[in-house]
Amino acid sequence: MTIKVLISKRKIKRRIKQIAKIINRDYKEKSLHIICILKGSIFYACDLARYIKVDVTIDFMKVSSYGSSTVSKGSIDIEQDLSETIEGKDVLIVEDIIDTGITLSSLIPILKDRNPSSIRITTLLDKPSRRQAEVNVDYVGFKIDDYFVVGYGLDYNQKYRNLPYIGVVNTSD
């Protein structure tokens, strides 16, 4: 198996800084409650939060949409719920990648029911060609073609999350 670099460490950093700048402008005078969707989003959430200048609080949620295969199940299970209420908070959901859209389109109504003041979504990667359920994403890092990618939080059977870049997996060799 080989991994080819698709988005370099330098490009990721530059783009995250740009997104943080827009978020800083959009949330001026507000505070931001980041919900990091485990596990894949931890790297993006940490790096993004570093460049955010408004007050930030962070919580985590683990939802499952993929098992050890690369085929989506069609709905989600909450494996680990948030530790704090989101009522009245300006929530920013931080995702690693939006693929079919099933995870977020199932999760958003659940979170809206908890009465946050607002909910926005940021994803580092977006694979629009595979979309099955509509998701309104507010801040997208990179749109990518239909590749299975790893690194910067993203895994293949739990491996490669620690790669500093986004790479494309080639399993045929």
* Distance in Å, CB of 12 to ligand IMP, minimum: 15
Query: Are 66 and 119 in contact, with CB atoms under 8 Å apart?
Result: no
Show the tokens assigned to 67.
């098992």
Geometric angle at alpha carbon 140, from 102 and 61, rounded to 5°: 50
153 binds Mg ion (CB under 5 A): no
Q: Which residues pair with 31 in a beta bridge?
A: 55
Q: Report the distance separating Cα 66 and Cα 68, nearest Å.
A: 7
Residue 146 or 173: which CB sits closer to ligand IMP? 146
40 binds Mg ion (CB under 5 A): yes
Contacts of 109 (CB under 8 A, 6+ apart): none
* Distance in Å, CB of 162 to Mg ion, minimum: 16
End-to-end CA distance of the chain: 5
Query: Are 75 and 106 in contact, with CB atoms under 8 Å apart?
Result: yes
Annotate each residue in 91-110 with x if it binds Mg ion (CB under 5 A) or - if it does not, as one string.
-----x--------------
Residue 26 or 59: which CB sits closer to ligand IMP? 59
Total number of residues that touch Mg ion (CB under 5 A): 2
* Distance in Å, CB of 139 to ligand IMP, minimum: 16
Geometric angle at alpha carbon 75, from 58 and 164, rounded to 5°: 45
Residue 26 or 73: which CB sits closer to Mg ion? 73
151 binds Mg ion (CB under 5 A): no
Q: Which does 16 bind (CB under 5 to 8 A by kind): Mg ion, ligand IMP, none?
A: none
Active site residues: 99
